[in-house]
Amino acid sequence: MLLQVEQLNKTYNQGQNENLIIFKDLNFSLSDSDRISTIFGPSGVGKTTLLNILGTVDVPNSGKITLKNIIYKEENYQLIRKKYIGYMFQFHYLLPEFTVFENLELTLRIKKANDLNKNDAKNKIIELLDDFRITDKIDCYPNELSGGEKQRVSLARAIINSPALVLADEPTGNLDAENSKNIINKIHKISAKKDIKFIIATHNTEFKNVSDSIYSIEKHSLIKK
């Protein structure tokens, strides 16, 4: 089992002894055969919160999470983030003062630290950009890219370290229909070719066509459809 979530509880204190319940005794497991899992639900239901918890950006009030046989604990959050998880968001979050190459190189340095060989890193970035058909954008800054190109770079950044799991929050939310389709198809190909699992929180129903499992958040829990 790649990912196991057991009895997850999450509430937010709203003051005056009032708590907003997000999750209550949520259970979820992701098998090795589920390459793409998609979570649907209206805005505000907790999709982003769940991804943040799985990505160690947020913490639950209680519950147990296990990824690659590693139990989530505060002391190993950094290891989990660096080695096992990639992130992709609705907004690309590319650093505007850096080129495409520099944005990807920075991510590799953060992920690999002392294990990074400069020539190997350069070759890996060029190979990845070639696969994404944006090699000609290697020296461009984010403001010189189209929306679709920015999101392709964002996806490349998310998988550059070959993580076990990519958490994608509305990855096509800012794209038109054609670029959305391109990103969905690319995620599908990457998951099969590189054996990288994706958990995608989205409103885009087109993801159903490539998903191995589909969920919705209802009554503070995750329901498989």
173-188 pLDDT tens trace? 989 999 999 999 999 9
Asked whether the beta carbons of 62 and 9 are under 8 A apart, the reply is yes
Query: Tokens 């937010």 correspond to what residue?
Result: 12
- Is residue 99 one of the residues assigned to a domain? yes
Write down the pLDDT at residue 156: 95
- Is residue 5 one of the residues assigned to a domain? no
Asked whether the beta carbons of 39 and 216 are under 8 A apart, the reply is yes
Length of the chain: 225
Query: Phi, psi at residue 72, to the nearest 5°?
Result: -65, 120
Asked whether the beta carbons of 89 and 170 are under 8 A apart, the reply is yes
Q: Which residues of 61-93 are buried (b: 16+ CB within 10 A; e: fewer)?
A: eebebebeeeebeeeeeeebbebbbbbbbbebe
Confidence of residue 16 (pLDDT cuts 50, 70, 90): confident
Confidence of residue 113 (pLDDT cuts 50, 70, 90): low
Question: Can you read off the two tokens belonging to residue 165?
Answer: 């799991």
- The CATH number that applies at residue 115 is 3.40.50.300
Query: Phi, psi at residue 36, to the nearest 5°?
Result: -125, 120
DSSP string, 63-90: EEEEETTEE--GGGHHHHHHHHEEEE-S
- Is residue 2 one of the residues assigned to a domain? no
* Average pLDDT of span 111-126: 77
- Is residue 216 one of the residues assigned to a domain? yes
Asked whether the beta carbons of 183 and 171 are under 8 A apart, the reply is yes
Question: Can you read off the two tokens belonging to residue 94?
Answer: 């590319």
pTM: predicted TM-score of the whole model, two decimal places:
0.91
Asked whether the beta carbons of 100 and 152 are under 8 A apart, the reply is no
Question: Can you read off the two tokens belonging to residue 192?
Answer: 């099969």
Closest CA to 47 of 181, 196, 200: 200
pLDDT in tens, 191-218: 999 999 999 999 999 999 999 999 999 9
- Is residue 74 one of the residues assigned to a domain? no
Number of domains in the chain: 1
Distances (CA, A) of 39 to 101, 107, 204: 32, 27, 10
- Is residue 24 one of the residues assigned to a domain? no
Q: Which domain holds residue 135?
A: 33-60+81-224
Which residues on adjacent β-strands are paired with residue 21? 11
- Is residue 68 one of the residues assigned to a domain? no
Torsion angle of alpha carbons 87, 89, 91, 96, nearest 10°?
0
- Is residue 130 one of the residues assigned to a domain? yes
